[in-house]
Structure 1
Amino acid sequence: MTEDLKPEAATTGPVDVELLEPAGIRLLETPAPPLPETERAAMDRAWGQAVRSNPGLFDGPVVACTGLVQDGPDTLVVHWARIGYRRFALRLVPGATGRVSSLYVAVVQPADDGRILVGRMAGPTARPGRWGLPGGCVEPPPLSDPLDPPALRRHAARELVEETGVFTPPERLTRWLLVRGEHGSVGVLHLAPPRPARELAERHAELCAAHRSLGAEPEFDRIALIGSPAEAAALPGPHADHLGPVLRRLFAG
């Protein structure tokens, strides 16, 4: 899943996006932020309306980002909590104080010619029509397992293959940037090794065919290989808030 419910949940106008490049990160679990009882009914109503508009939404367990704290000169501590996905529906409730930020992973997948793979979310997804990098919200691990950088790499590798059909072993992904943007949500971006452009197109076409043979839609209904920020800006439709800033940093070297 992506980090918002639907396009109407996004703020209007440009969103300030912060790109962070710490040498290390630590993840620390915290209690879920309190949900005021006065807002619970409003959250449930907003969630019900969102599901009626998009029956593909699923109220499963998900991770909220509850804060970023600098720990020394080179390390960021990411505080996180276990919540249900419907908690994000409070973003649709004006004045709600129980809103939470999401924690997500994304993958920069280069082609062998230097272009970068981006995809458009399909109709049944949380943000239909939106262009972005392969990725999604982080799901909480079992209580006996840690949420740590290796777990984030595994999640990023799973999102990459689920959305593009491209399998990369998690240990071959390299953490690159942390992104903080809309709603205070934090993304952990990973770099994948380059693949031939033809292979990227073939893997996605095979994935789409497999989904549609089962009467389902792939998460990305279309992919594109982008060679510059200007090419990304020309893609029709909404874009993930981090897409432009990340591509500008990437293509600037």
Structure 2
Amino acid sequence: MQQSVDLHVRSYGPSGAPDRHDYAQLVLPVRGSVLLEIGGKQGRLDAQTAGFVAAGAWHDQWGEQANSSIILDLATIEPQAGERLYARPFAAVNPAARKLVEFMAIMTEQQAAASSVVQGWVPLLLDALTLEAPRPESRLAALRAKIEADPGLPWTVESMAQSVGVSVSRLHALFRLEHDQSPHDWLLERRLARACEWLARTNRPIAELALSAGFSEQSALTRAMRKAMDTTPAAYRRQSRENWSK
């Protein structure tokens, strides 16, 4: 089950207004502290404590000093994680979870928190908050998000498996189960998507963007586009701009 997530960054003043909504919410302070009241129970959130608001729960929050928090609106959440957080709405943020929160904050500041990146890191964050050890499936989601953020890194199937903490054969099984394709084919697909995005939206030289997208050289990108899309980088750029100008 994949979580549907929206990310916001908010600061709270000295007074708030009670609210409720039909989705769950995770409050993750990045700077300062926040007082959160959920159904009459109050807790202080800071770098070591996150807050979970269940769907439909009345809640209020306020800050006594300068503060900033990442807010994750969870339209869906895995039942096991939801039950654990509901039972313990003021959850301790262990070092692993804190690193993920800090990563999200950096990505947001750089305006790079694309939906696919956020979606990928949330399962691992929920595991870090509720389980002793993250599941391979959550690590796979985080790996996908990391590659989505920068597909040009020197990824190999072996390094992908190491990042997830599984064997190469297990990685293949996970990708087959979730994507019905091999890790290599999925990686190539993401690199092609990024190259096509740059071809359509930028004037970067084709050789340069090919390297940035993870291809060894321009001819490697050309071969991949011919095989997958029956076109070339130059033709794709030209066609994209013709379509845009219409």
TM-score by length of 1: 0.26
Higher relative contact order (CA 8 A, sep 6+): 1
Greater C-alpha Rg? 2
Structure number with the higher strand fraction is 1
TM-score by length of 2: 0.27
Structure number with the higher helix fraction is 2
